[in-house]
């Protein structure tokens, strides 16, 4: 089964609107191809609307870094899936480890957000991954099993098939430490097996599962040569046009 690779950039809390628009101008000048690959940029909320205009016709998609599950209401500070869609987003990162760690995001909240986002025709990029303590205690698979099954609870097989899941070992995020190609492949194949058990072979064959955690141009080809790894969620290296486009190019060459 052929799955279109995804390279998503998570800008976290970086870039003002002028910085974001300069990046858009610069990436449009590169010859980075988006035919064989889905490229997604997830800026802070403040830059979404203007980036949506700036990216028009570029083939690059826009995503948000979080969402609330209600459509509207008295929820000060929150942004709804309806608003994200209206602002031009096609993707939403849900359950990033920084949100789990600093903002009390639980598997139940992740599940509510996933359902809300799918309900509005947006694609969730749901993050799962173990901490260093959990890896050292040998419970990586147990942790990703709980996060995956809880996050996807109640979905129809077609909805699970349309998901993007990012396996991001917490100890590899922003640390310069990357999971080995083999370890990343093993956990991602395990996650695909969970999707097969819960939603069937077709969903497992179609769901895109990315690796995230200190992905850089130098480690892209090794990771992307693994059969179950369908792309990457990139933090730090997505902030510079040169490193981000190099990751896109290497992925596209490896996965062709």
- The residues binding ligand PEP (CB under 6 A) are 10, 12, 168, 173-174, 212-215, 233-237
**227: exposed, middle or buried (Cβ count in 10 Å: 0-12, 13-18, 19+):** exposed
Nearest CB to ligand PEP, comparing residues 111 and 214: 214
**Of 105, 134, 168, 246, which is the active-site residue?**
168
111 close to 122: Cβ distance less than 8 angstroms:
no
Q: How far is the CB of 172 from ligand PEP (least distance, A)?
A: 6
Q: Which residue is nearest to ligand PEP (CB)?
A: 235
Which among 69, 116, 120, 125 has a CA at the least distance from the CA of 92?
A: 125
Q: How far is CA 55 from the centre of its chain?
A: 19
Q: How far is the CB of 229 from ligand PEP (least distance, A)?
A: 14
Token duo for residue 39: 């490229």
**Of 38, 96, 130, 246, which is the active-site residue?**
96
Nearest CB to ligand PEP, comparing residues 113 and 204: 113
What b/e string do you get for 2-13 counting C-beta neighbours within 10 Å, with b at 16 or more?
A: eeebbbbbbbbe
Q: How far is the CB of 99 from ligand PEP (least distance, A)?
A: 11
Answer yes or no: 96 catalytic: yes
Q: How far is the CB of 11 from ligand PEP (least distance, A)?
A: 9
Which among 46, 58, 127, 60 has a CA at the least distance from the CA of 92?
A: 127
Nearest CB to ligand PEP, comparing residues 203 and 245: 245
Angstrom distance (rounded) from CA 255 to CA 4: 9
> Residue 93's CB: how many other CB atoms inside 10 A?
26
Nearest CB to ligand PEP, comparing residues 13 and 31: 13
Residues tagged active-site: 96, 168
């Amino acid at each position: 089964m052929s799955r279109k690779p995804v390279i998503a950039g998570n800008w976290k809390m970086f870039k003002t609107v002028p910085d974001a628009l300069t990046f858009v101008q610069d990436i449009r000048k590169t010859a980075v191809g988006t035919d064989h690959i889905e490229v997604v940029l997830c800026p802070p909320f403040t830059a979404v609307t203007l980036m949506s205009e700036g990216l028009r016709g570029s083939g690059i998609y826009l995503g948000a870094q979080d969402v609330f599950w209600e459509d509207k209401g008295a929820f000060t500070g929150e942004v709804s899936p309806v608003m994200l869609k209206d602002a031009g987003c096609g993707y939403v990162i849900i359950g990033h480890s920084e949100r789990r760690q600093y903002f009390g995001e639980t598997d139940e909240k992740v599940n509510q957000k996933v359902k809300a986002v799918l309900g509005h025709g947006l694609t969730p990029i749901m993050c799962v991954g173990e901490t260093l303590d959990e890896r050292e205690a040998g419970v990586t698979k147990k942790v990703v099993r709980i996060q995956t099954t809880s996050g996807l609870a109640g979905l129809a097989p077609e909805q699970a098939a349309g998901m993007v899941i990012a396996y991001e070992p917490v100890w590899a995020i922003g640390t310069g430490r990357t999971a080995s190609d083999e370890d990343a492949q093993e956990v991602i194949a395990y996650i695909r097996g969970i999707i097969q058990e819960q939603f069937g072979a077709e969903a497992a064959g179609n769901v895109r599962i990315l690796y995230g955690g200190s992905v850089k141009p130098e480690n892209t080809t090794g990771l992307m040569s693994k059969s179950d790894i369908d792309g990457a969620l990139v933090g730090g290296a997505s902030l510079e046009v040169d490193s981000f486009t190099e990751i896109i190019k290497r992925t596209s060459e490896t996965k062709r």
